[in-house]
Amino acid sequence: MELTDRNSASRGATGVRKTMPLGWLLAESRPHVVRSMESWIRVANSEVQMIGYKEISSQEDMEVLLNKMAGFHDSLTKEFHIINRAYVLPDHCMVMGFRFDGQLLVQSQLPPYALELVCSNILELHINSPEGYWSAGGKVRIIGRSVEKAVELNFDKAMKIVTERLFYCERSDWLGHRAFLGSEVPSVDAVAASKIEGKWRQCSVCSDAWEEEDRICFSLCPGCGRLTECPSA
Ligand SMILES: [Zn+2]
Protein backbone atom coordinates (compact mmCIF):
# COMPACT_ATOMS: atom_id res chain seq x y z
CA MET A 1 0.00 0.00 0.00
CA GLU A 2 1.40 3.38 -0.93
CA LEU A 3 1.71 6.05 1.71
CA THR A 4 0.37 9.43 0.65
CA ASP A 5 3.15 11.89 -0.04
CA ARG A 6 1.78 14.80 1.97
CA ASN A 7 4.88 16.82 2.60
CA SER A 8 7.81 15.80 0.52
CA ALA A 9 9.44 19.23 0.86
CA SER A 10 10.06 18.72 4.59
CA ARG A 11 11.54 15.27 4.18
CA GLY A 12 14.95 14.80 5.78
CA ALA A 13 17.98 14.06 3.66
CA THR A 14 18.30 10.56 5.08
CA GLY A 15 14.62 9.82 5.61
CA VAL A 16 13.14 7.69 2.83
CA ARG A 17 9.43 6.98 2.83
CA LYS A 18 8.05 4.39 0.43
CA THR A 19 5.41 1.99 1.67
CA MET A 20 3.88 1.50 5.09
CA PRO A 21 3.99 -2.02 6.58
CA LEU A 22 0.59 -3.69 6.99
CA GLY A 23 1.28 -4.43 10.67
CA TRP A 24 1.61 -0.73 11.35
CA LEU A 25 -1.69 0.02 9.59
CA LEU A 26 -3.42 -2.54 11.81
CA ALA A 27 -1.76 -1.15 14.92
CA GLU A 28 -3.10 2.31 14.08
CA SER A 29 -6.64 1.06 14.57
CA ARG A 30 -5.93 -0.43 18.01
CA PRO A 31 -7.34 1.62 20.90
CA HIS A 32 -4.16 1.52 22.99
CA VAL A 33 -2.16 3.42 20.40
CA VAL A 34 -4.70 6.24 20.17
CA ARG A 35 -3.46 9.14 22.29
CA SER A 36 -4.17 12.84 22.53
CA MET A 37 -1.57 15.24 21.13
CA GLU A 38 -0.79 16.39 24.71
CA SER A 39 0.01 12.86 25.86
CA TRP A 40 2.16 12.22 22.79
CA ILE A 41 4.23 15.31 23.54
CA ARG A 42 4.46 14.37 27.25
CA VAL A 43 5.69 10.90 26.30
CA ALA A 44 8.03 12.42 23.72
CA ASN A 45 9.65 14.65 26.28
CA SER A 46 10.05 11.95 28.91
CA GLU A 47 11.34 9.14 26.74
CA VAL A 48 14.29 10.80 25.04
CA GLN A 49 17.14 12.83 26.41
CA MET A 50 20.36 12.16 24.51
CA ILE A 51 20.20 8.45 25.29
CA GLY A 52 23.65 6.83 25.29
CA TYR A 53 25.42 10.17 25.89
CA LYS A 54 27.01 11.39 29.14
CA GLU A 55 26.69 15.07 30.07
CA ILE A 56 29.44 17.25 31.55
CA SER A 57 27.53 18.90 34.39
CA SER A 58 30.35 19.58 36.86
CA GLN A 59 34.11 20.05 37.03
CA GLU A 60 34.31 16.48 38.33
CA ASP A 61 32.58 15.24 35.15
CA MET A 62 35.09 17.26 33.12
CA GLU A 63 38.04 15.63 34.92
CA VAL A 64 36.56 12.19 34.23
CA LEU A 65 36.36 13.02 30.53
CA LEU A 66 39.90 14.44 30.39
CA ASN A 67 41.29 11.38 32.20
CA LYS A 68 39.34 9.03 29.97
CA MET A 69 40.87 10.64 26.88
CA ALA A 70 44.41 10.87 28.36
CA GLY A 71 44.11 14.66 28.25
CA PHE A 72 43.39 14.41 24.52
CA HIS A 73 47.11 13.80 23.95
CA ASP A 74 47.84 12.79 20.34
CA SER A 75 44.29 13.46 19.19
CA LEU A 76 42.72 15.56 16.46
CA THR A 77 39.33 16.86 15.43
CA LYS A 78 38.30 14.72 12.48
CA GLU A 79 34.88 16.28 11.81
CA PHE A 80 32.88 19.24 13.10
CA HIS A 81 29.23 19.75 12.14
CA ILE A 82 27.51 22.99 13.22
CA ILE A 83 23.83 23.67 12.73
CA ASN A 84 21.69 26.74 13.43
CA ARG A 85 18.27 25.74 14.80
CA ALA A 86 16.82 28.81 13.04
CA TYR A 87 16.09 28.63 9.32
CA VAL A 88 14.36 30.31 6.37
CA LEU A 89 11.33 28.48 5.01
CA PRO A 90 10.64 27.93 1.28
CA ASP A 91 8.09 30.80 1.55
CA HIS A 92 10.98 33.00 2.81
CA CYS A 93 9.63 33.34 6.37
CA MET A 94 12.29 33.07 9.05
CA VAL A 95 11.82 30.66 11.95
CA MET A 96 13.83 32.29 14.73
CA GLY A 97 15.00 29.51 17.00
CA PHE A 98 18.53 30.91 16.92
CA ARG A 99 20.98 28.48 18.47
CA PHE A 100 24.20 26.94 17.20
CA ASP A 101 24.48 23.26 18.10
CA GLY A 102 27.57 21.27 17.18
CA GLN A 103 28.76 17.71 16.85
CA LEU A 104 32.45 16.75 16.77
CA LEU A 105 34.36 13.58 16.19
CA VAL A 106 37.73 13.53 17.95
CA GLN A 107 40.06 10.67 17.01
CA SER A 108 43.02 9.70 19.19
CA GLN A 109 46.02 7.39 19.06
CA LEU A 110 45.18 6.35 22.63
CA PRO A 111 42.14 4.46 23.98
CA PRO A 112 39.19 4.84 23.60
CA TYR A 113 40.48 6.11 20.22
CA ALA A 114 37.42 8.08 19.17
CA LEU A 115 34.91 10.30 20.96
CA GLU A 116 31.80 12.08 19.77
CA LEU A 117 31.12 15.44 21.44
CA VAL A 118 27.75 17.20 21.20
CA CYS A 119 27.48 20.90 22.06
CA SER A 120 24.08 22.39 22.82
CA ASN A 121 24.01 26.18 22.42
CA ILE A 122 27.55 27.12 21.41
CA LEU A 123 28.40 30.47 23.02
CA GLU A 124 31.93 30.91 21.69
CA LEU A 125 34.07 29.10 19.14
CA HIS A 126 37.63 29.60 17.95
CA ILE A 127 39.33 27.31 15.46
CA ASN A 128 42.91 28.15 14.56
CA SER A 129 44.47 24.97 13.28
CA PRO A 130 43.57 21.44 12.11
CA GLU A 131 46.78 19.99 13.59
CA GLY A 132 46.95 17.29 16.24
CA TYR A 133 46.61 18.19 19.93
CA TRP A 134 49.25 17.77 22.64
CA SER A 135 46.68 18.22 25.40
CA ALA A 136 43.34 19.73 26.34
CA GLY A 137 41.90 21.46 29.38
CA GLY A 138 38.33 21.98 30.44
CA LYS A 139 36.32 24.09 32.85
CA VAL A 140 32.73 24.15 34.00
CA ARG A 141 32.02 27.70 35.13
CA ILE A 142 29.10 29.79 36.30
CA ILE A 143 28.69 32.75 33.96
CA GLY A 144 25.20 34.01 34.85
CA ARG A 145 24.69 35.81 31.56
CA SER A 146 22.06 34.55 29.11
CA VAL A 147 22.80 31.09 30.45
CA GLU A 148 23.73 30.16 34.00
CA LYS A 149 26.55 27.74 33.32
CA ALA A 150 29.04 27.23 30.53
CA VAL A 151 31.34 24.36 29.66
CA GLU A 152 34.68 25.30 28.13
CA LEU A 153 37.11 23.02 26.29
CA ASN A 154 40.54 24.18 25.10
CA PHE A 155 42.63 22.04 22.74
CA ASP A 156 46.15 23.54 22.91
CA LYS A 157 45.75 26.91 21.20
CA ALA A 158 44.18 25.24 18.18
CA MET A 159 40.51 25.18 19.19
CA LYS A 160 38.33 26.57 21.96
CA ILE A 161 34.65 25.75 22.49
CA VAL A 162 32.36 27.33 25.07
CA THR A 163 28.91 25.79 25.17
CA GLU A 164 25.91 25.80 27.47
CA ARG A 165 25.73 21.99 27.57
CA LEU A 166 28.25 19.37 26.51
CA PHE A 167 27.64 15.66 25.97
CA TYR A 168 29.96 12.87 24.87
CA CYS A 169 29.82 9.29 23.72
CA GLU A 170 32.66 6.84 23.07
CA ARG A 171 32.87 5.81 19.41
CA SER A 172 35.93 3.57 19.52
CA ASP A 173 35.37 2.14 16.05
CA TRP A 174 34.88 5.51 14.31
CA LEU A 175 38.42 5.43 12.91
CA GLY A 176 39.66 5.95 9.37
CA HIS A 177 39.27 8.60 6.74
CA ARG A 178 35.56 8.47 5.89
CA ALA A 179 32.93 10.81 7.39
CA PHE A 180 31.06 9.33 10.35
CA LEU A 181 28.73 12.11 11.53
CA GLY A 182 25.18 11.94 10.15
CA SER A 183 23.20 14.71 8.52
CA GLU A 184 21.35 15.68 11.72
CA VAL A 185 23.13 17.08 14.78
CA PRO A 186 21.76 15.50 18.01
CA SER A 187 19.58 17.86 20.05
CA VAL A 188 18.29 18.01 23.62
CA ASP A 189 14.98 19.13 22.10
CA ALA A 190 14.42 16.04 19.96
CA VAL A 191 11.10 14.23 20.36
CA ALA A 192 10.78 10.47 20.54
CA ALA A 193 10.38 8.16 17.58
CA SER A 194 9.82 4.43 18.01
CA LYS A 195 10.78 1.52 15.81
CA ILE A 196 7.79 -0.21 14.29
CA GLU A 197 8.95 -2.89 11.90
CA GLY A 198 12.03 -3.37 9.76
CA LYS A 199 13.51 0.06 9.06
CA TRP A 200 10.23 1.83 9.82
CA ARG A 201 9.95 4.25 12.69
CA GLN A 202 7.09 6.45 13.91
CA CYS A 203 7.03 10.02 15.24
CA SER A 204 5.50 10.28 18.73
CA VAL A 205 4.08 13.74 18.00
CA CYS A 206 2.35 13.44 14.62
CA SER A 207 2.30 9.62 14.23
CA ASP A 208 3.77 9.81 10.74
CA ALA A 209 6.05 6.91 9.78
CA TRP A 210 9.14 6.72 7.59
CA GLU A 211 12.07 4.50 6.81
CA GLU A 212 15.49 5.18 8.32
CA GLU A 213 18.75 3.30 8.61
CA ASP A 214 19.12 1.49 11.97
CA ARG A 215 22.45 3.17 12.73
CA ILE A 216 20.83 6.63 12.51
CA CYS A 217 19.50 7.70 15.92
CA PHE A 218 18.43 11.29 15.14
CA SER A 219 16.17 11.69 12.11
CA LEU A 220 13.80 14.37 10.82
CA CYS A 221 10.11 13.41 10.83
CA PRO A 222 8.79 13.98 7.29
CA GLY A 223 5.31 14.69 8.68
CA CYS A 224 5.87 17.47 11.23
CA GLY A 225 9.50 18.34 10.47
CA ARG A 226 10.61 17.78 14.08
CA LEU A 227 13.95 16.23 14.91
CA THR A 228 13.30 12.81 16.45
CA GLU A 229 15.44 10.52 18.58
CA CYS A 230 14.89 6.78 18.32
CA PRO A 231 16.16 5.18 21.56
CA SER A 232 16.49 1.70 20.09
CA ALA A 233 18.32 2.85 16.95
ZN1 LIG B 1 6.26 14.10 13.36
pLDDT digit string (tens) for 193-217?
999 989 999 999 999 999 999 989 9
For residue 80, what are the β-bridge partners? 104
- Where are the domains positioned within the chain? 18-48+190-229, 54-170
Decide if pLDDT at 40 tops 60.
no
Q: How far is the CA of 176 from the centre of ligand 1 (A)?
A: 35
Q: How far is the CA of 196 from the centre of ligand 1 (A)?
A: 14
**Percent of the chain scoring above 70 in pLDDT:** 79
Please provide the average confidence, as pLDDT, over all residues in the chain: 84
Confidence of residue 147 (pLDDT cuts 50, 70, 90): confident
pLDDT digit string (tens) for 65-101?
999 999 999 999 999 999 999 999 999 999 999 999 9
3-class DSSP string for 151-204? EEEEECCCEEEEEEEEEEEECCCCCCCCCCCCCCCCCCCCEEEEEEECCEEEEC
pLDDT digit string (tens) for 150-189?
999 999 999 999 999 999 999 999 999 999 999 999 999 9
The DSSP line for 17-70 is --B--HHHHHHHTSGGG---HHHHHHHHHHH-SSTT-EE--SHHHHHHHHHHTG
Cβ within 8 Å of residue 72, ≥6 positions away = 66, 106, 108, 133, 135, 136, 155
Indicate the pTM of the whole model. 0.79
Instruction: Find, among 183, 192, 219, 176, the residue nearest to 78 by Cα.
Output: 176
Amino acid 49: pLDDT: 84
How far apart are alpha carbons 201 and 204 in whole angstroms?
10
Cβ within 8 Å of residue 14, ≥6 positions away = 182, 183, 184, 212, 213, 216, 219
Decide if pLDDT at 220 tops 70.
yes
Amino acid 106: pLDDT: 98
CB 171 within 8 A of CB 217: no
Amino acid 148: pLDDT: 87
Q: How far is the CA of 170 from the centre of ligand 1 (A)?
A: 29
Q: How far is the CA of 58 from the centre of ligand 1 (A)?
A: 34
Q: Is 119 exposed, middle or buried (0-12, 13-18, 19+ CB in 10 A)?
A: buried
Q: How far is the CA of 32 from the centre of ligand 1 (A)?
A: 19
Decide if pLDDT at 50 tops 70.
yes
